[in-house]
Amino acid sequence: MSFQSKLPDVGTTIFTVMSQLANEHGAINLSQGFPDYPCDPALVDALARAARDGHNQYAPMAGLPELRRAVAAKLALSRGVAVDADTEITITAGATQGIFTAIAAVLHAGDEAIVLDPSYDSYAPAIRAQGAVPVHVPLDAPDYSVDWARVEAAVTPRTRMVLINNPNNPATTVFTRDDLDALAAIVERHDLYVLADEVYEHLVFDGIEHQSVLTHPALRARSFAVYSFGKTFHVTGWKIGYCVAAPALTAEFRKIHQFLVFVVHHPSQRALAEMLAEPAHWQGLPAFFTRKRDLLAKGLERAGFELLPSRATYFQLARYAAVRDDLGDAAFSRWLTEHAGVACIPVSAFYADGRDDRIVRFCFAKEDATLAAAGERLGALRP
């Protein structure tokens, strides 16, 4: 019997490809978005303590009540919103699972979902796995602002959902209140749902304020907002996140969740609940990452890169024409890894149409020594 793939054109992700290339050439890996520094030792101690104390069996399907209450308290403190821990918060096996579950809960075969490119690589495959169709609306470099008239023009009778990534990886843009108003007008006019990937909510710089869909009443009623403890606590390998949605939406979300993963790692949930009780960590993230952003920026500028504003996330976009102008971004990323010993990601990988604006993405969630070493290697490119 021949097997008919649901995703016949999906291969290895660009993140895996570039990380493997970095390993092969001994390059400093500024491509994939993960820290190379340890998390808070108190978090590890809390994890070990939870396991030693016997919390090693199934947690409740929706997530540990203590953790959901801690999330609700954080949202009240950081966003000024009241969220019901029992009916509106679900703990997930990472943000990617939360995104997939929300998509699976809403989309049926033949439906359409609007995706704003550049977009994270899991969105379109998750949509297609439901038999639905991703409709890509590209954002233009260098500012990557959303043309909401263009978004509305992409709506058809089959459209059911709009996906947003705010703050955006890799564009580093942050929605304004006007953006949320424009989005709300569209989804109300066409009776649509919103999936808001807000995993970088606390990584916003230069006094910019993150505008969450949870703070907008019209969007709150129609949105699934997905978050990541991995991004917030420097533990991407733990793969734990959460989804916040109105009770009716959460009920549908949990129908899929319980048969997809059922529950999430119990000791980790206890450790995270303990850490969330101390807000100083996540409140200090903007200053922590601003310093790392600026350290990487100095090295990139010395090497001849033209930097785009990095407003949020832990990524820096850069034009490389002054370094080498004869290569597309994928070829340049490979060349830089092989010849300079620093790995990056081509931004064309985030566009469905593969548009190449000759821009690459670097990750600055690294030790200061790693960023300084990368700057030295890049500096060797200058004559």
What was the pLDDT predicted at 15? 86
Q: Give all domains of the chain, ordered by start, each with its CATH number.
A: 14-32+284-379 (3.90.1150.10), 57-278 (3.40.640.10)
The answer, yes or no, to whether residue 382 has pLDDT greater than 90, is: no
- Count other C-beta atoms under 10 Å from residue 32's C-beta: 17
Q: How many CA atoms lie within 13 A of 15 on its CB side?
A: 10
The answer, yes or no, to whether residue 187 has pLDDT greater than 90, is: yes
pLDDT, tens digit, 9 for 90 and up, residues 48-91:
999 999 999 999 999 999 999 999 999 999 999 999 999 999 99
What distance lies between CA 1 and its chain's CA centroid? 38
For the record, the structure tokens of 34 come out as: 């993960």
For the record, the structure tokens of 21 come out as: 């290339």
**How far is residue 48 from each of residues 242, 265, 281, measured CA to CA in Å?**
22, 13, 20
Q: How long is the chain?
A: 383
pLDDT, tens digit, 9 for 90 and up, residues 331-364:
999 999 999 999 999 999 999 999 999 999 999 9
Could you tell me the pTM of the whole model? 0.96
Averaged pLDDT, 213-224: 97
How far, in Å, CA of 101 to CA of 58, rounded?
20
